[in-house]
Amino acid sequence: MQMAIFRSRTWLSRAFSSLPSNLLRVCVVGSGPAGFYTAEKMLKAHPKAEVDILDRLPTPFGLVRSGVAPDHPETKIVINQFTRVAKNDRCMFLGNVNLGLSVSLKELRDLYHVVVLAYGAESDRVLGVPGEDLEGIHSAREFVWWYNGHPDCRNLAPDLQTTDTAVILGQGNVALDVARILLRSTAELATTDIASHALGALEKSSIRKVYLVGRRGPVQAACTAKELREILGIKDLYINIQDVDLQKSPMDEEEMRTSRIQKRVYELLSKAATSSPVSPTTGQRELHFVFFRKPDRFLESEKRNGKVAAVHFEKTTLKVDSGRQVAVGTGEYEDIESGLVLKSIGYKSIPVDGLPFDQHRGVVPNSRGRVLQTTSGDLLLLEEGLYVCGWLKRGPTGIVATNLYCAEETVVSIMEDLTQGPLVSTSTLSKPGREGLLELLDNRKVTVFPFSTWEKIDAEEKQQGSLKHKPREKLSSWQELLKVGSE
Ligand SMILES: NC(=O)c1ccc[n+]([C@@H]2O[C@H](COP(=O)([O-])OP(=O)(O)OC[C@H]3O[C@@H](n4cnc5c(N)ncnc54)[C@H](OP(=O)(O)O)[C@@H]3O)[C@@H](O)[C@H]2O)c1
């Protein structure tokens, strides 16, 4: 969403710095972990670098604010480090600036010596099976954004009322986050920073049964041991895993020998299967791990047009393909009835105009963060001054800290290009940088949210949260956020 309110020029002129003109003008697009780590490393690596961090949201921190589960506060502590970066004299956060809408990539490249795209993956992989658009089916990303108070999903309204069963497709850590939020006691969630609209809906939720469905086996489950242990440890939760799914093939044994994580995940699932009672007690919440099932199509409710009623699965078996075990259909089918389906099969990045993009891999073709013109891998065909970091660079995998190494690599590439590569001569030319961008945005009547506005939002959220014994109550609608910004 683009906001076009006229702001007084006073703030704009204050924002113009009196820094010398031989600056290296760097623009980072995206203020999640990849963006902030890149900014931090760039500021350290180059004493004359002035780094502007843009975000399409009025608020900073990307996935740390909108992706990390509310019951994982320890993962959000990194916000303190990012705040120190944003407050560095040579850094500026510019929220509510949307690449592609407020400013084009070409304009940014003309304004800055270096542009680093770190805007992540804000879309979803699709299954491409019939019925995927039925009501009651959402991507896990949308559900996560909903409970985390992302303004784009404030009105998602997932059906937690007319069904007692949710099916989650995929068995990665996002699937586990989503399952945990559906199954955990709301009294525990109430003391987290979960959005109040989500907490209210979860308090009234009729969901009792959650199916976590994987197309491969327990050895290939994509989650990690810590996250699995956490969900298996939810109080008074009935866990169901079919013994037959736990049988291992020699290839599974081989995978477990080479991956400690897979071995540990398998062991935890086996232990849960043997230690769980045969059936749930009355009213007990249930978590069913279902393996070797791939979604074939979604079935529509006979009672309500356009609404999902079940997932039709094809049973699978594993076959080795290019050294990897992949799921292949067996021709046998099975339905799981459910009025709520969350597809947790991975995030997807979206390209902007003028950006080379590998549609197949869903990433920007790059060599150690340097954007390449084509997917051919030809290192000579460089997009000069353009770099990537984070999920846009390597795909939607890894934890927050993975971006630290990813940013390190991109910044090393930038520094090499500045000292002995294509930026040696161009970086000596003066560029308009921040001043030029602010002028352009002002002309377009784009309301820029500087870090000081985020600090106002932050204070407001903490104040509202303290009244409810929560760390914060997120402002989760565009109206609320923009109101603080225009005060
Ligand atoms: N607490 C944490 O540390 C935390 C929390 C959340 C996310 N993360 C990280 O964030 C990254 C993204 O997580 P994620 O869960 O979105 O992705 P992920 O780990 O890649 O898991 C994706 C899941 O979707 C399945 N899948 C993909 N395509 C499918 C299809 N066409 N049909 C059926 N199933 C399909 C995959 O199965 P196959 O294996 O068969 O492809 C896998 O189970 C991961 O690196 C994750 O560890 C970490």
Q: How far is the CA of 177 from the centre of ligand 1 (A)?
A: 11
Where along the chain do its domains lie?
A: 9-122+349-486, 125-347
pLDDT attached to residue 9: 40
For ligand 1, mutation pick of 138, 345, 400 (most atoms within 8 Å of CB): 345
Pocket of ligand 1 (CB under 6 A): 127, 169-175, 177, 214-216, 220, 222, 227, 294, 344-347, 396-399
- The yes/no answer on whether domain 9-122+349-486 falls in CATH 3.40.50.880 is no
pLDDT attached to residue 21: 59
393 alpha-carbon distance from chain centroid: 14
Produce one character per residue of 196-235: b if its CB has 16 or more CB atoms within 10 Å, e if not.
Answer: bbbbebbeebebbbbbbbbbbbbbbbbbbbebbebbbebe
Contact 67, 96 (CB under 8 A): no
Q: How far is the CA of 158 from the centre of ligand 1 (A)?
A: 21
Nearest CA to ligand 1 atom 18: 172
The DSSP bridge pattern shows strands 137-139 and 165-169 to be unpaired
Fold exhibited by the domain 125-347:
FAD/NAD(P)-binding domain (3.50.50)
**Closest ligand 1 atom, residue 171 Cα:** 43
Phi then psi for residue 398, to 5 deg, are 100, 160
pLDDT attached to residue 18: 40
Distance between CA atoms of residues 325 and 320, nearest Å: 4
Task: Please report the beta strands in 103-177, taking only residues with DSSP state E, as ranges in sequence order.
Answer: 114-117, 123-124, 137-139, 165-169
Q: Which residues pair with 391 in a beta bridge?
A: none
Tokens of residue 148, six digits = 């985390």
pLDDT attached to residue 49: 97
pLDDT attached to residue 3: 39
Residue spans of the chain under pLDDT 50: 1-20
Can you tell me whether residue 391 is helix, strand or coil? helix
**At 297, which amino acid appears?**
R
